[in-house]
Amino acid sequence: MGAVTLGAKPQSTPGGNAAPAQPAIPFTRAARMKSNVAFQTGNTTLTTSAQPLPPIQIPAAGYLASLELLVTVTSTGNSATVALQADAPWTVFNQVSLVNSAGDNIITPLSGYQLYLVNKYGNFRGQAPFVDPKRDPAYTALTTGSGATAGSGAFRLFIPIEIDPSQAFCSLPNLAANKSYLLQFQLSALVSTFSTAPNGTVTLSMQIIAHYWSQPAAANAAGVPQQTAPTGVGSVSLWQLETIPVTAGDRIVQLHNVGNVMREVIFVLRTAAGARTSADWPALSQILLNNDLLFYKPTAAWQGGMAESFGYDTGAIDAAGGLDTGVFVLYDFMSPENGHVSPSSMRDQYLPTLDATLLQFRGTNFGASASTLEVISNAVKPISAAALYEPHVR
């Protein structure tokens, strides 16, 4: 038998039938993951008031996977004894959002701290616990004390778009300059980050890097066909937020961000003063689906499951490698494999919901200082069921 040439035309068999066509090379093998600077801000002075930045148009290029934010806070001329708020440094952002060309939210406006939680627990980029922003080499905690540069620091966060890098699932087509995505920021007032602010000048600068998949040709150099778009292109990952008042005692609250396929929910409990609190978290939590018990979670079991599934068991609470005060993550839809969640985990346990679905949280019982329950939810709007449950290419 002669040598086989890749991309050669199918040869007829003795019976006259053409040989089977070669399968297309999968998109994530045919495409190239690339990155480029999307935008770079100058130094913006933080003031006593919140201030919006002009919307940032993301340059057209391939299929958008994520946006990386490199943030630097620079303090000069300080002589005060600088002290930080509990959620610093992430609180330098009052709001961050991503919208499409039609003005629809891909990521609803989130606070900087909420975006930090999405990075830490969102399971969209890499393996926890290594994605903890506090463990990042780019992270430098804001300095405190009375030094001239007290209040300076740096960190890195990502804007999540695709949720499965092994398939580029939910990456967004960004091929047309007239249909650009817009990244929007509102910077916080100094008091949101500093309990005692520097009395010199505090500025924020930011570099934004777009990570995207190139669009492959329909065939490679040898003529082998290639997928030119990700499987399930048109599917979208949505990050949504609702803030629900709660009071002490046994409470049932309804979660309203339904209608798509639920992937994850992050709960944050706060006091009336805005402080995160675990002391007021219910001893027993239950998740109800259409009045049927879906999950039963005593607090100790829930925290243990989070530590195991994400690997955040190497640090103290609120420290690098540890869990966070007042933060409880419903990770169960992401089907941990080998005890840990992974961006490429199977999607079999994602929860399809309808607009009429009744999804509720029951807490037994909230403490006396409980005031607000922030609910950050991640849902997938798939183009089809086949795209959602597409087998993974290993």
Whole-number pLDDT of residue 199? 97
Residue type for position 40: Q
| 255: β partners | 359
> Long-range contacts of range 241-245, CB-CB < 8 Å, 24 or more positions apart?
241/108, 241/109, 241/110, 241/114, 241/374, 241/375, 241/376, 241/377, 242/374, 242/375, 242/377, 243/372, 243/373, 243/374, 243/375, 244/372, 244/373, 244/374, 244/375, 245/371, 245/372, 245/373
Among the three residues 181, 213, 245, which one is the final residue of a domain in this structure? 213
- Residue 262: inside a domain: yes
Q: Are residues 158 and 273 in the same domain?
A: no
Work out the number of other CB atoms within 10 angstroms of the CB of residue 196: 17
What is the chain's Cα-based Rg? 24
Residues 68 and 131 in one domain: yes
Asked if 264 and 349 touch (Cβ cutoff 8 Å), the reply is no
Query: Is the model's pLDDT at 392 over the cut of 80?
Result: no
Query: How many domains does one find in the chain?
Result: 2
Question: Distances from the Cα of 35 to the Cαs of 32, 83, 214, 373, 379, in angstroms?
Answer: 10, 37, 10, 37, 26
Sign of the C-alpha dihedral computed for residues 11, 13, 16 and 17 taken in this order: negative
Q: Is residue 339 part of a domain?
A: yes
What CATH number does residue 107 fall under? 2.70.9.30
**pLDDT, position 1:** 40
- With a cut of 90, say whether residue 22 has pLDDT above it: no
H helices of the chain, in order, are: 27-30, 112-121, 190-193, 299-310, 385-388
Q: Are residues 261 and 142 in the same domain?
A: no
Query: Could you give the residue ranges of the DSSP H alpha helices within 51-122?
Result: 112-121
Query: Rounded to an integer, what distance in angstroms lies between the CA atom of residue 56 and that of residue 69?
Result: 12
Locate 299 and state its tokens: 């607090």
Contact by Cβ (8 Å): 155, 140: yes
Which of 213, 248, 278 delimits the end of a domain? 213
Same domain, 126 and 257: no
pLDDT averaged over every residue in the chain:
93
Same domain, residue pair 344 and 302: yes
The top-scoring range by mean pLDDT among 126-140, 254-268, 327-341 is 254-268
Mean local confidence (pLDDT), 255-268: 98
Torsion sign over Cα 216, 66, 121, 235: negative
User: Looking at residue 338, what is its pLDDT?
Assistant: 75
Locate all alpha helices (DSSP H) within 73-136, ordered by sequence.
112-121
Q: Is residue 376 part of a domain?
A: yes
- Is the pLDDT at 206 greater than 90? The verdict is yes
Kindly report, residue by residue over 295-315, the tens digit of the pLDDT.
Answer: 999 999 999 999 999 999 988
What per-residue confidence (pLDDT) applies to 9? Answer: 43
Q: What is the pLDDT of residue 4?
A: 36
What pLDDT is recorded for position 8?
Answer: 41
* CATH number, domain containing residue 269: 2.60.120.20
pLDDT in tens, 236-248: 999 999 999 999 9
What does the DSSP 8-state code read for residue 333? G
Task: Tell the residue number behind the tokens 């399971």, with chain if given.
Answer: 123
Q: Are residues 205 and 94 in the same domain?
A: yes
Tally: H helices and E strands in the chain: 5, 22
Tell me the residue range of the domain where 259 lies: 236-388
pLDDT of the residue at 126: 85
- Evaluate whether residue 393 is within a structural domain: no
* Residues 33 and 159 placed together within one structural domain of the fold: yes
CA–CA separation, 306 and 303 (whole Å):
5
Task: Decide if 307 is inside a domain.
Answer: yes
* pLDDT tens profile 31-46: 999 999 999 999 999 9
- Do 193 and 56 have their domain in common? yes
d(CA 229, CA 142): 42
Tell me the C-alpha to C-alpha distance, in Å, between residue 202 and each of 28, 72, 91, 115, 194: 43, 10, 14, 22, 11
Residues 374 and 253 in one domain: yes
Query: CB within 8 A of 242, min separation 6: which ones?
Result: 255, 256, 257, 374, 375, 377
Three-class secondary structure of residue 83 per DSSP: strand
Asked if 330 and 254 sit in the same domain, the reply is: yes
pLDDT value for 128: 83
- The model carries a pTM of 0.93
286 and 209 both lie in a single domain = no
238, 60 Cβ separation under 8 angstroms: no
Residue 219 within a domain: no
- The pLDDT, as a whole number, for residue 15 is 55
231 in a structural domain? no
Residues 253 and 352 in one domain: yes
Q: Contact 374/243 with Cβ under 8 angstroms?
A: yes
Last residue of a domain, one of 180, 213, 246: 213
Degrees, nearest 5: CA angle 279-284-286: 130
| Residue 386, token pair as written in the block | 């086949």
Identify whether the C-beta of residue 298 lies closer than 8 Å to the C-beta of residue 292. no
Residue 325 forms part of a structural domain: yes
